[in-house]
């Protein structure tokens, strides 16, 4: 039996972390670059997120024994802002999950596992560092629902999304890569302890038709009793600068090394797109 830390699981968990929300707006400040500032959410604003993420891997379990794994996550949900603090942080929202499932394939056999969030609507609010959630009818959520809600919304409600913090932390000059400091890597991309970032660069590719495109190139590694695994990831982020809205995120990457002592290789690719409803 494969370890629970299989390449597919590692790649999917890593991609979930990297595909965090990125919101920003333009502010032409000193220094001559493009300066992005924190967004200003509005009560009643609704955002629809559509996410398709696939990881594939091969594990050599023994001579002539290659196990092929694939994991596909599919999500679509809408978040309506219900309360905003004076500093612009969203503190309460209603979230409706129309689709939220994971499809896993091992050597050609496929199983589909829906998330406990699928088909549900929740009222969520921030209390300190925690999220408090109930169903739309006021009934209590299960521990599994609470954990899933925290994973999906915990970096966007009650705080500025970490990737947005990085985007508005400096003025950006087109075509000039920026070496990210250790604390920036940890804050923006270090939420998955299974595969922490060890180095990375950020690049403003350019701004065209009011859309800023950034690329983040990351090196990640894990070295523990299960063996050493390494990963290279590129996250491309497009931001509608004038409206302070993310438009799209694309993730591509590779994973290789040892899992439970077995040689393994893998790939991951995913896309998040954002839609908005008028107030």
173-232 pLDDT per residue, tens: 999 999 999 999 999 998 777 789 999 999 999 999 999 999 999 999 988 777 788 999
Indicate the length of the chain as a whole number.
Answer: 279
The pLDDT of residue 274 is above 90: yes
d(CA 25, CA 168): 8
60 Cβ contact list (under 8 Å, min separation 6)? 66, 262, 263, 264
Give the pLDDT score at 28: 35
Contact 15, 52 (CB under 8 A): no
Task: Work out the pLDDT band at 22, boundaries 50, 70, 90.
Answer: very low
Tell me the range of 12-16, 120-124, 241-245 where mean pLDDT is highest.
Answer: 120-124
Using a 10 angstrom Cβ sphere, with 0-12 exposed, 13-18 middle and 19 or more buried, the burial of residue 6 is buried
Average pLDDT value for the chain: 87
SS3 at position 103: strand
Here the tokens at position 158 are: 């009650």
Compute the average pLDDT of residues 96-110: 95
The string of pLDDT tens digits covering residues 233-256 is: 999 999 988 876 789 999 999 999
The string of pLDDT tens digits covering residues 137-156 is: 999 999 999 999 999 999 89
Token pair 């200003």 is found at 40
Please give the distance of CA 90 from its chain centroid, rounded to a whole number.
Answer: 18
The pLDDT of residue 11 is above 90: no
| Closest alpha carbon to 215 in 244, 174, 187 | 174
The pLDDT of residue 278 is above 90: no
| Closest alpha carbon to 263 in 225, 228, 215 | 228
Task: Work out the pLDDT band at 279, boundaries 50, 70, 90.
Answer: low
Give the pLDDT score at 190: 86
Contact 202, 213 (CB under 8 A): no
The pLDDT of residue 272 is above 70: yes
SS3 at position 243: coil
The string of pLDDT tens digits covering residues 23-78 is: 333 333 334 689 877 778 899 999 999 999 999 999 998 888 899 999 999 999 99
Contact 99, 119 (CB under 8 A): no
């Amino acid at each position: 039996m494969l370890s629970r830390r299989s390449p597919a699981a590692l790649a999917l968990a890593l991609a979930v972390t990297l595909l965090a929300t990125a919101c920003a707006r333009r502010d032409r400040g000193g220094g001559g670059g493009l300066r992005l500032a924190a967004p200003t959410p509005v009560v009643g604003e609704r955002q629809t997120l559509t996410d398709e993420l696939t990881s594939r891997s091969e594990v050599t379990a023994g001579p002539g024994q290659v196990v092929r794994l694939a994991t596909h996550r599919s999500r679509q949900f809408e978040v309506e802002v219900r309360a905003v603090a004076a500093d612009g942080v969203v503190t309460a929202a209603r979230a409706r999950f129309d689709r939220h499932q994971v499809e896993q394939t091992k050597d050609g056999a496929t199983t589909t596992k829906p998330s406990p969030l699928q088909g549900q609507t929740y009222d969520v609010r921030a209390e300190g560092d925690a999220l408090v959630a109930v169903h739309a009818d006021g009934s209590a959520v299960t521990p599994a629902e609470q954990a899933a809600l925290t994973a999906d919304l915990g970096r966007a409600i009650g705080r500025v999304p970490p990737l947005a913090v990085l985007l508005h932390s400096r003025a950006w000059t087109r075509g000039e890569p920026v070496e990210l400091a250790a604390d920036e890597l940890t804050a923006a991309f270090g939420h998955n302890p299974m595969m922490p970032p060890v180095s990375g660069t950020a690049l403003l590719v350019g701004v065209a038709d009011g859309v800023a495109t950034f690329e983040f190139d990351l090196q990640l590694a894990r070295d523990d009793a299960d063996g050493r695994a390494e990963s290279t990831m590129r996250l491309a982020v497009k931001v509608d600068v004038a409206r302070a809205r993310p438009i799209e995120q694309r993730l591509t990457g590779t994973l290789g090394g040892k899992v439970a002592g077995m040689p393994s290789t893998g790939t991951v690719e995913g896309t998040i797109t954002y839609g908005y409803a008028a107030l």
